[in-house]
Structure 1
Amino acid sequence: MRSMYVALFLVVLCGIESKLIYPSDSGRVYYTGRVDFHEGNVAKFQWSGVSFSINLKNAKQAPSFMMSGVVTNYDVQCGEKLTSFKTSQHWDLRNYTVNCGDIKPEQEYLITITKRTEAYYGESRFGGFVVDEHAQVSKPEGRKLKMEFIGASVTCGYGNLGTPPCESNVDNENARLAYSSQTARMLNADHSIICWSGMGMARSYGDKFPVTENSMPHHFNGTLGKLNSNDWDFKRFIPQIVVINLGGNDYSSKPSPSFEQFSQIYNRFLDLIRRVYGQTVYIYNFDGPLNNVPRLAEIIANRKEARTFYLDLAHVLTEKADRGCNSHPSVKGDYKMAVQLSEFIKKTFKSPVNK
């Protein structure tokens, strides 16, 4: 039976009685990544790879969904069919139709919309799904294994669709195809991506001081990645595995932090992760693929923690086709990284990894 809550949205947002609207906070949508619900039934999000999914059954028409915000690219999966679309910048909710091919009412479809572009480009908003009045909508079940990836441009998928020479932009990066998302799929895990191109652990790219305020630890607590916002509730998503790829930007130019400065901030960040996610979380720290972080292996070894690991991935990209824009991994390079990272996790992660 339709609730009054949904019916009101039917009139206000749609105005067509043959359609049902399931708002973003209707309880029928499954989210991965950080999403802000402070504005009620419009979900705000900004980090790479945020996704929202529904199960759709008994539909006679293609569903749609409501979006607004900055210029952003998305991948849309409907069953086996994968398409993409791009929003222009607008702050009123607009409808975008899901391409499912020929809809078969007797078939159940898993529909997932995934944000391809990174937090750097700004905030987006999701208003909900719109389906025909005969359709049945249910919330998909999440995967048991949860992962979080924390990093900079490589973790975002910077320029992984580009053909060198090129600079990354909203059209040639795809977080769904970055090593982070590919690793999660290989391990059958739900995942959250916290990344920002140019971000460092102690010093972000191009800053004039060796230790600066705009590094990752100052953004990590934010639902939308805003500097020092500290508004994310870590109880909403507790991963068993955290993967960190940070430090390359710290040493990419001068003045770089001293080993003592970098080590102190890195250790504080690892302590924070254990504090918010618990002592049993597995933390994987890796170098590369652009350059090694000086003495990162030493920092990890000195902690003497059974569930904290170091992995060198600086020499994975061996072929020209492995590189996208500005020597960053292409989708092929991302795949190579994901294979090595997922195999290493399988060997060292003691809890069962979903098959």
Structure 2
Amino acid sequence: MTAADPMTPTSISATLKRGLALFGVALALACPAMAAVTIGADDARLQYTGRIDFRQPAAPVLSWPASTIAGNFTGTSLAIRLDDRLGKNYFDVYIDGDLARPRLVAASQGSRSYRIADDLAPGRHGFLLVKRTEGEEGATTFQGLELADGGELLAPPPRKARRIEFFGDSITSGMGNESPADGPDHLGKDKNSYRSYASITARALDAEAHLVSHSGIGVTISWFPFTMPDYFDQLDAAGNNDTQWDFKAWTPDVVVINLLQNDKWLIDRERRVQPPPSDAERVRSYRRFVETIRAKYPRAYIVCALGSMDAVEPGSKWPGHVRAAVGQLNGAGDGRIGMVLFPYTGFNGHPRVAQHEANAALLTAFIRRKMGW
């Protein structure tokens, strides 16, 4: 993984001084820096995917995990300009579809330019910018691109015809999936939503994905004062707020709900809810949220998933709660709801990439069968 370099005024000045010292004033004046072609963030040839805040079209805001910007361009270099609120976000930029070699951007707080590539072959290229991190790392304003002198932004890639939306917690966000197996798994640098089971499944099915997920969130209770029923309809993922997503703007063919891991911990282990809800109350809360999603998307196929952390360990009641809710909904006449369990592997941390890949394979096969994809 290659880290992109921030192009700050200080670093540019230092580089120029070193150049003057080495090559002389005359040479420096004879070889001025090449002018960049600036592309605004509101250029129609850029392709955005995710719940992007376009209330200021020239300054769109990315806050949800796995939000993406794609484009095609000509020229030998690419830089992006970001204004990050907290300086905690991480992005990957993929060039020419090479998913094995992302260019990592560790965003600094404030407005900066980041050199992504400056050694590309002349001609046509493509890029994909992906927000690895989630709302708890804050939001980022995209301010546009800088191409080499003579470079041009081309028509965007064709949009995918299929759409999947995921509602989940840290598992869906990819918390800790790039951590070592024996290392801490809460660090932002090791969170990669683009390598979570959700994004992997979407790529396998050639579908666009929206990830509406937040680490620590639950249906009945979370590690913070709001739950997914409070949060799922927001435009801005940075905390609990009053922004509203337009559900008519993007309609999924498939919805995947993978929640209750935090409910399991907080109700059964931490005992934060007193008296604890009965089994029937747990089923009812989960069913209510599924019904809320169904009301938003009457035609979507809904997958009620669970796992692969200890909510699905042997003896856990929580798979039964999901199964009961799905059975009740099927019995009430909704035949477009199914269930997938990601098996417990005995690993007690957040799933690593290999586990996400295995879970994605199960989910991909299930969706293929149900949707004929």
TM range (shorter): 0.7 to 0.9
The question of whether the paired residues in 2 share the 8 Å contact of 1:53 and 1:110 is answered with yes
Structure 2 residue aligned with 1:190: 208
Asked if residue 203 in structure 1 is aligned to residue 221 in structure 2, the reply is yes
1:21 to partner: Cα distance: 2.2
1:17 to partner: Cα distance: 9.1
Alignment partners' CA distance in 2, 1:20 and 1:276: 42
Structure 2 residue aligned with 1:300: 326
5 Å-filtered alignment, 1:17-166, equals 18-57=35-74, 59=75, 61-69=76-84, 70=86, 71-79=88-96, 80=98, 81-90=101-110, 93-99=111-117, 102-106=119-123, 108-137=124-153, 138-163=155-180, 164-166=182-184
Q: Which amino acid aligns with 1:280?
A: R
The question of whether the paired residues in 1 share the 8 Å contact of 2:173 and 2:192 is answered with yes
The question of whether the paired residues in 1 share the 8 Å contact of 2:185 and 2:349 is answered with no
Structure 1 residue aligned with 2:15: none
1:328 to partner: Cα distance: 1.3
Asked if residue 334 in structure 1 is aligned to residue 356 in structure 2, the reply is yes
More helix by share: 2
Q: Could you report, residue by residue, the CA deviation over 1:10-57 in whole angstroms, capped at 9, with x for unpaired residues?
A: xxxxxx993332222221211111111223311112111111011113
Alignment partners' CA distance in 2, 1:215 and 1:257: 16
Structure 1 residue aligned with 2:278: 258
Asked if residue 313 in structure 1 is aligned to residue 314 in structure 2, the reply is no
The question of whether the paired residues in 1 share the 8 Å contact of 2:282 and 2:321 is answered with no
| TM-score, reference length from structure 1 | 0.83
**Residue ranges of structure 2 left out of the alignment (5+ in a row):** 1-32, 313-317
Aligned length: 316
Asked if residue 239 in structure 1 is aligned to residue 239 in structure 2, the reply is no
Q: Which amino acid aligns with 1:335?
A: E
Local SS of the residue matching 1:234: coil
The question of whether the paired residues in 2 share the 8 Å contact of 1:202 and 1:257 is answered with no
Alignment partners' CA distance in 2, 1:128 and 1:233: 24
1:312 to partner: Cα distance: 1.5
**Residue ranges of structure 1 left out of the alignment (5+ in a row):** 1-15, 208-212
1:228 to partner: Cα distance: 4.8
Structure 1 residues 17 and 62: CA distance shift in structure 2, 3 A: closer
Q: Could you report, residue by residue, the CA deviation over 1:121-176 in whole angstroms, capped at 9, with x for unpaired residues?
A: 11111111122352221222211111111100110111111122414111111111
The question of whether the paired residues in 2 share the 8 Å contact of 1:31 and 1:51 is answered with yes
Q: Which amino acid aligns with 2:288?
A: R
Local SS of the residue matching 2:305: strand
The question of whether the paired residues in 1 share the 8 Å contact of 2:65 and 2:132 is answered with yes
Alignment partners' CA distance in 1, 2:144 and 2:282: 43
**What is the RMSD computed on CA atoms of the aligned residues?**
2.0
1:309 to partner: Cα distance: 0.6
The question of whether the paired residues in 2 share the 8 Å contact of 1:250 and 1:257 is answered with no
Alignment partners' CA distance in 2, 1:157 and 1:257: 29
| TM-score, reference length from structure 2 | 0.80
Alignment partners' CA distance in 1, 2:171 and 2:245: 23
Q: Could you report, residue by residue, the CA deviation over 1:299-324 in whole angstroms, capped at 9, with x for unpaired residues?
A: 11110122101111133x36xxxx5x
1:117 to partner: Cα distance: 1.0
Structure 1 residues 198 and 95: CA distance shift in structure 2, 3 A: same
Q: Which amino acid aligns with 2:240?
A: L
Over alpha carbons, which structure has the higher Rg? 2
Local SS of the residue matching 2:38: strand
Q: Which amino acid aligns with 1:40?
A: P
Structure 1 residue aligned with 2:304: 285
1:203 to partner: Cα distance: 1.0
The question of whether the paired residues in 2 share the 8 Å contact of 1:313 and 1:337 is answered with yes
> Runs of at least 4 residues of structure 1 off by over 6 A?
none
Alignment partners' CA distance in 1, 2:281 and 2:142: 40
Structure 1 residue aligned with 2:14: none
